[in-house]
Amino acid sequence: MSSLSRFFDELLPVVQSDLRAVLAPPANTPVLFYRMLHYHMEWVDQDGQPVEIAGGKRIRPMLCLLVCRAVCGDHAPARPAAAAIELIHNFSLLHDDIEDRSPLRRNRPTVWHIWGEQQAINAGDALFALAHLAIPRLADGNVDGALLARILEIVDETCVELTRGQHLDILFETSNEVTAEDYLSMIGSKTAALLAASAHLGALAGGADETAQSRYRAFGENMGLAFQILDDVLDIWGDPTLTGKRAANDIYQRKQTLPVLYAMQQNPELRDLYARQVPFDDQTVGRVIDLLNDAKARQYAEELARRYSDHTIAHLTAARPSGDAGEALFEMIDRLLHRER
Amino acid sequence: MSSLSRFFDELLPVVQSDLRAVLAPPANTPVLFYRMLHYHMEWVDQDGQPVEIAGGKRIRPMLCLLVCRAVCGDHAPARPAAAAIELIHNFSLLHDDIEDRSPLRRNRPTVWHIWGEQQAINAGDALFALAHLAIPRLADGNVDGALLARILEIVDETCVELTRGQHLDILFETSNEVTAEDYLSMIGSKTAALLAASAHLGALAGGADETAQSRYRAFGENMGLAFQILDDVLDIWGDPTLTGKRAANDIYQRKQTLPVLYAMQQNPELRDLYARQVPFDDQTVGRVIDLLNDAKARQYAEELARRYSDHTIAHLTAARPSGDAGEALFEMIDRLLHRER
């Protein structure tokens, strides 16, 4: 069994119990108020009955705990930050589902789809506030107040980044002038910032010095960039039976991901197709993929992802993570970025 | 000139400059991202041009600063908390406007009405995160980290209260079983919690002991309850030329405020009117007001407000606020609760 798998087995229950402690309903709470949150976290069904489903992958809190352990030999100091990060991630998904009008998340109806948009916006806001409360609620009474305040500052700077990324993503939906650089700026905020913060907070909580904190942060950020680019590649060229989504879903949705933006620079036909304000049918999607292949867009994106992936490894190596947790972090890179070492 | 007016003249520019400092766009920011926030704060028009309008009343940050000054003779220690509270208030208005489908706020089109709902939800989230960042960004480097962490904890507990209140308010729109007690629980969370926190945070930042903090908190909470009840009374029986809203706006919107809930307990005809799922015309609104008058609903609500108002004064008196700022706090009660002393 790999180090990473062992750590998942050990730490996932820790994360889950921390998340449940933060979201425990106090006395005198309207029943539905917390039920919407517990449903979104995949703990209950819409009637409030417990469900047994796999739940999210919890990559971000795991990253946070592993970095902390690789820094100081113990994951415990990072538990408040790890829970906060996971709840922030879930808050952003709840609001993204409303903004994107997604009826389903992981094969279940979304919160807004069940309880309406008014309640869903408000439930997301509640989850946002509760994510912050994870820090004082899970912190040991001995933790230095200045450290708690610094953790919260990083959490909120990250939230501003997330909303910056979402702002750009929404703008790009109706723009014909998006560049590959714009796209990288968008995913830097929308995807990479939270992974950067997860690693950064783990290092901070573990007592790493500023230099090591920066290295862990850069490791998380580059891993996030590489991961998102590879995810976009997989959407188009991956095996639907492995990805769990219909093939080329992003293209059906006319998302301007990196391969598309790269190919557009060379091919006016592709630009024209995306400029048309009509849904893409199967034939158009097929044509788009042909044009992407002609432009070698897959090779371009994979090469860029490889570069971020190399940076990821270089930053983690420079940070000198120790012990089994360090080993597990390298494994996490392999797992997330489909690399063989 | 009253103490309160002098303090408003002195402190409003302080609050404004703090708010602008927290919402200053960093380099490399998409222009529209902060413009939506500055528009909502009433600093610019929708093209980003500065506007000269009165702006919000900033009651909450003023309350926070005045309490701090009444505790320790200086308002400065409460500046970060005062800015955070005002930004939280504005964040909640931004999302409320979406949830309530309000096209106008203070005679200007709302953010969602101009830039669409996707961007507006996201802009509110950004404002929420930035409200938190007011604390570290405005705090003097000398401030104790434990104090910052405690301030943030109170801010987030208050946000959970706000969302609890909004949750109930949304539920009540479609319920025929709301009681006066439910209504008081709702406004306790939706209106009073933020005023309670404003006074509490001012006392905490000023170095008040736990007992004094509780008294200031209870003062703010009771003032919030009395204020909301009187606001609901004014909506129905106030002079539209003074309130600035059309008379009986809440009744046209079929809101179940305290006078309505009280009268419903006695009058089946009123219950039936509110059970019908049709908009109220002028004639129905007139009939509703007649029934409220028959039930002496105004007297009931004013008597309850008077009781909360008495508590407000008692708690503030027990807190022993000192100097001109203390005087100004008593004036604030008079002003907000229309009392003559």
- Contact (CB<8Å) A118/B146: no
Which chain A residues are Cβ-neighbours of B146 within 8 angstroms? 144-146, 148
Q: What pLDDT score does A2 carry? A: 87
A309 token code pair: 């992936």
What band does A282 get if pLDDT is binned at 50, 70 and 90?
very high
**pLDDT for A215:** 98
pLDDT surpassing 60 at residue B73 = yes
| Minimal-distance CA residue of chain B relative to A100 | B118
Q: pLDDT at position A341, please?
A: 41
Residue B305 is predicted with a pLDDT of 97
For B153, the closest of A136, A153, A167 (CB atoms) is: A136
Distance from CA of A323 to the nearest CA of B (A): 32
CA A75 – CA A62 distance, rounded (Å): 10
pLDDT of residue B187 exceeding 60, the answer is yes
What is the predicted pLDDT for the residue at A245? 66
Minimal CA separation from B2 to chain A, in Å: 38
Please state, in angstroms and rounded to a whole number, the distance separating the CA atoms of residues A68 and B180.
Answer: 51
What integer is the mean pLDDT of B138-142?
83
pLDDT at position B192 is 98
B278 or B103, which is more confident = B103
Instruction: State whether B30 and A121 contact (CB < 8 Å).
Output: no
Q: Any idea which fold B3-336 has? A: Farnesyl Diphosphate Synthase (1.10.600)
CATH topology of domain A3-337: Farnesyl Diphosphate Synthase (1.10.600)
pLDDT of residue B245: 66
Q: Please state whether B52 falls in left (phi above 0), alpha (psi between -120 and 50) or beta.
A: beta
pLDDT at A321 over 90: yes
Measured CA distances, A190 to A182, A185, A194, A214, A299 (Å): 12, 9, 8, 19, 24
First to last CA, chain A: 17
Q: Chain B residues with CB inside 8 Å of A84's CB?
A: none
Kindly report, residue by residue over A36-62, the tens digit of the pLDDT.
999 999 999 999 999 987 767 899 999
Please report, to the nearest 10 degrees, the dihedral formed by the alpha carbons of residues B329, B331, B337, B339 taken in order: 140
Give the C-alpha distances (Å, rounded to integers) separating A42 from A54, A306, B25. 8, 34, 37
Distance between A102 CA and the closest CA of chain B, angstroms? 12
- Rounded mean pLDDT, A106-132: 97
Residue of A nearest to B182 (CA): A30
Contacting residues for A324 by C-beta, under 8 A, at least 6 apart: A3, A6, A7
Q: What is the mean pLDDT of residues A121-136?
A: 98
Check: CB of residue A71 under 8 Å from CB of residue A207.
Answer: yes
Q: Which has the higher per-residue pLDDT, B140 or A135?
A: A135
pLDDT in tens, A150-205: 999 999 999 999 999 999 999 998 898 999 999 999 999 999 999 999 999 999 99
In this prediction, residues B291-318 reach a mean pLDDT of 97
Domain segments of chain B: what residues? 3-336
> Tens digits of per-residue pLDDT, A204-242?
999 999 999 999 999 999 999 999 999 999 999 987 776
Q: What pLDDT digit, counting tens, does each position of B203-233 carry? A: 999 999 999 999 999 999 999 999 999 999 9
Chain B CB contacts of A167 under 8 Å are: 30, 32-33, 119, 122-123, 126
Minimal CA separation from A111 to chain B, in Å? 14
Mean pLDDT of chain A: 94
Average pLDDT over residues B325-334: 97
Residue A262 distance to chain B (closest CA, Å)? 22
Of all residues in chain B, the one with the smallest CA distance to A146 is B145
Partners of residue A145 in chain B, C-beta under 8 Å: 144-150
Residue B47 has pLDDT above 70, yes or no: yes
Q: What is the per-residue pLDDT across A21-39, written as a single tens digit (0 to 9) for each?
A: 999 999 889 999 999 999 9
Instruction: Say which residues have a Cβ less than 8 Å from residue B319's Cβ, sequence separation at least 6.
Output: B203, B208, B212, B215, B216, B219
Q: Which candidate from A95, A129, A145 shows the least CB-CB separation from B144?
A: A145
pLDDT at A339 over 70: no
Residue from A30, A170, A293, A256 nearest B112 by CA: A170
Q: What is the pLDDT of residues B151-170, one digit of tens each?
A: 999 999 999 999 999 999 99
Best of B159, B160, B177, B185 to mutate (most A CBs within 10 Å, chain A): B160
pLDDT at site B341:
41
The whole-number pLDDT of residue A52 equals 82
Confidence label for A244 from pLDDT (cuts 50, 70 and 90): low
Cβ atoms within 10 Å, residue B313: 18
pLDDT at B150: 95
Contacts 24+ apart (CB under 8 A), A330-336: A331/A2, A331/A3, A331/A4, A332/A4, A332/A59, A332/A62, A332/A63, A332/A66, A332/A223, A333/A223, A333/A309, A335/A4, A336/A59, A336/A223, A336/A227
Question: Could you tell me how many CB contacts below 8 A there are between chain A and chain B?
Answer: 151
Q: What are phi and psi of B108, to 5 degrees?
A: -120, 150
Q: What residues does A104 pair with on adjacent strands?
A: A109
